[in-house]
Structure 1
Amino acid sequence: MGRVIAAGVALGLCGVLLGAPPASAQSGSAPSGSLGVQVSIDRRPIADVTVPIDPAKQVELQVVATNPGTAPVKVRSVRLSGVALALTFFAYDTTAPFEVPARGSTTRTFVLDLGDLAGQATGLLPSSVELLDAQRATLGEATTVADVQGSFWSVYGVFGLAMLVLTVLAWLTALLALARHRLAPNRWRRGLRFLPAGFGTGLVAVISLSVLRLVPPEPAIEIPVVLGAAAIAFLLGYLTPHPAAPAAAAAGDGATVRLPVPSTQEFTR
């Protein structure tokens, strides 16, 4: 049971640490004729602000693409997506081909129906609007934080509940092993026994802050929180008492103490 819980928590951790490539790698893979992108949602610029998105209403998305290059760039589609813990929880692609002239700009306006977003995400999510070419490569993007007013029972909310259950089970198994003196004698192995519970605690904290609309799960926040919680849990396991000590004490209390019998000597007259 403990291995299953550890595997579930480890999958969530791998999604955080390995799921998303670095920003430099993403920008490096973009075509040479990349575009500058400015986006407004419901006529409000999304740069450096939190954008509320109500799935019950249609969203007006305005994109201004600027081409600083010397050759025109063809855009095939526009993508609106939201990511948390390196996992994409919603993505909407709109196919609307247009061309951005060299050293010029083009403005396009789209109306998006996000009705099913309520069942996909809720809370604060890092989001982006990308311009894609015919090969689905990113020509340019604008990033923001979306305040998705979705359902608590959305995919994102259920994912958080699942991580909470796994984390509670991980702590219970580790603490029960401690109470029953079944932890490994080696301190490092005892620390590793508590490590999945720490990872799970960090993931639950990140998701909870996002759903409660306090802090978005951006890499600069989620990675230190998860690794910090894991380090604390490992330290707790490392500092737990040696499991053989209580057993030895109990054995000493119940042992029979034999007093030495004085030796007898024979005297001859």
Structure 2
Amino acid sequence: MRSRASAATRIVLLPSVFTLISVMLAGLFAAPVVGRPQGVDMSATIDDHDIADTTAAEPLRLQPNSTIRVAIALTNNTPAAVRIRRVDLAGHVLGLSFFSYSTAVELSIAPGKSDALRYRLDLTGLDGQATGLIVADLAVIGADGARIASIPLDTDVRGSLWSVYGLFGIALAVLTMLAIADAALAIARHRLSTNRWQRGLRLLAPGGGIGLVFGFTASVARWWVPDTGLWLAVAAVAAVVGYLLGYCSPTPEVAPEEYFASTGELDEIDGMNTVRFRADGQTT
């Protein structure tokens, strides 16, 4: 019964392990934010603050249901005219977009000329999209849908914990707690594998989950801006620490019948023909 319960627990926790690994791989292989191409110079201010000067210590504060003033200056140093159709303001975490606002514009800049865009952006609905310190970028999009220029910035989103980003972090925390509980029960019941590699893998997912949850907590608590590379590095270090703890943990003592059952030798013994000896020395 205990082996069936343990197997059922592992089956239930498999999605959590796959989710943690998928999140880490999604961030690892996510396309990087495209920088501005050569030949097009861009500068921008939001509420009269140069967004290129934003840092984790001095981020741009975005208040839900408020209006911000956006001013963009562009210089076309290319030999062809540049046509602007849209301006996007989006926040990204681990390669995933958690808030996004698009504004339709009409602007054409002749070669060697400069022009500017000024508009007001309504942040309605931001409280349901994200909260905490988030890396964002302001990008101008051409008529063909290609990004012409962009500027990264650090934002302080004053949204709700029950936003999409907040629920993403809560889901990470729940999955991590389930993985920790599964490992703790296995340790308490002496159900860890006698194989060091398997013990290490058993604690790999809880370690990586702790690293991801730490990054989310630091973002929501406004301790740091969750840069993808740094966040994944923290999660990777935590996963390695978890693996080493499992690998170096003492080998649990296993009863003989449990050992044979785990290796499959018990079934072979049961299937063998048995021979009984009578008192007179003959077999039956």
Which residue of the partner structure matches residue 119 of structure 1?
Answer: 128
Residue 246 of structure 1: CA displacement?
6.1
1:53-97 deviations in whole A, cap 9, x for unaligned? 111310111111122212221111100000012110011111102
* Gapped regions of structure 2 (runs ≥ 5): 1-11, 257-284
Q: What CA distance in whole angstroms lies between the structure 2 residues aligned with 1:48 and 1:185?
A: 55
Q: What CA distance in whole angstroms lies between the structure 2 residues aligned with 1:236 and 1:86?
A: 30
Residue 247 of structure 1: CA displacement?
4.4
Q: Does residue 64 of structure 1 match 2:69?
A: no
Equivalent residues of 1:34, 1:140 under 8 A apart: no
Q: What CA distance in whole angstroms lies between the structure 2 residues aligned with 1:8 and 1:219?
A: 17
Q: Does residue 38 of structure 1 match 2:43?
A: yes
Residue 16 of structure 1: CA displacement?
2.0
| SS of aligned partner of 1:198 | helix
Q: In structure 1, which of residues 59, 84, 87 is the aligned counterpart of residue 93 of structure 2?
A: 84
Deviates more, 1:147-156 or 1:183-192: 183-192
Q: Does residue 17 of structure 1 match 2:28?
A: yes
Q: TM-score, normalised by structure 1?
A: 0.84
Which residue of the partner structure matches residue 264 of structure 1?
Answer: none
Equivalent residues of 2:212, 2:232 under 8 A apart: no
Q: In structure 1, which of residues 178, 187, 191 is the aligned counterpart of residue 187 of structure 2?
A: 178
Moved segments of 4+, more than 6 Å: none
| SS of aligned partner of 1:93 | strand
Equivalent residues of 2:24, 2:232 under 8 A apart: no
Which residue of the partner structure matches residue 203 of structure 1?
Answer: 212
Q: In structure 2, which of residues 200, 205, 230 is the aligned counterpart of residue 191 of structure 1?
A: 200
Q: What CA distance in whole angstroms lies between the structure 2 residues aligned with 1:125 and 1:241?
A: 42
| SS of aligned partner of 1:152 | coil
The AA in structure 1 aligned to 2:49 is R
Which residue of the partner structure matches residue 105 of structure 1?
Answer: 114
Equivalent residues of 1:121, 1:155 under 8 A apart: yes
Residue 172 of structure 1: CA displacement?
0.8
Q: Does residue 151 of structure 1 match 2:160?
A: yes
| SS of aligned partner of 2:219 | helix
Residue 164 of structure 1: CA displacement?
0.5
Q: Does residue 96 of structure 1 match 2:143?
A: no
Q: What CA distance in whole angstroms lies between the structure 1 residues aligned with 2:32 and 2:96?
A: 14
Q: In structure 2, which of residues 187, 196, 221 is the aligned counterpart of residue 212 of structure 1?
A: 221
The AA in structure 1 aligned to 2:232 is I
Residue 160 of structure 1: CA displacement?
0.7
The AA in structure 1 aligned to 2:139 is E
| SS of aligned partner of 2:125 | helix
| SS of aligned partner of 1:115 | coil
The AA in structure 2 aligned to 1:14 is L
Q: Does residue 235 of structure 1 match 2:244?
A: yes
Residue 33 of structure 1: CA displacement?
6.7
Q: Does residue 48 of structure 1 match 2:53?
A: yes
The AA in structure 2 aligned to 1:13 is M
Q: What CA distance in whole angstroms lies between the structure 2 residues aligned with 1:198 and 1:213?
A: 23
Equivalent residues of 2:133, 2:155 under 8 A apart: yes
Q: Structure 1 vs Structure 2: percent identity of aligned residues?
A: 37
Deviates more, 1:224-233 or 1:180-189: 180-189
Residue 135 of structure 1: CA displacement?
2.5
Q: Does residue 3 of structure 1 match 2:17?
A: no
Equivalent residues of 1:33, 1:139 under 8 A apart: no
Residue 166 of structure 1: CA displacement?
0.6
Q: Does residue 137 of structure 1 match 2:146?
A: yes
1:219-256 deviations in whole A, cap 9, x for unaligned? 2421211111111111111111112x3647xxxxxxxx
Q: What CA distance in whole angstroms lies between the structure 2 residues aligned with 1:103 and 1:223?
A: 42
1:174-225 deviations in whole A, cap 9, x for unaligned? 1211222222222111111111111111111111111011101112421211
Q: TM-score, normalised by structure 2?
A: 0.80
Equivalent residues of 1:164, 1:200 under 8 A apart: yes
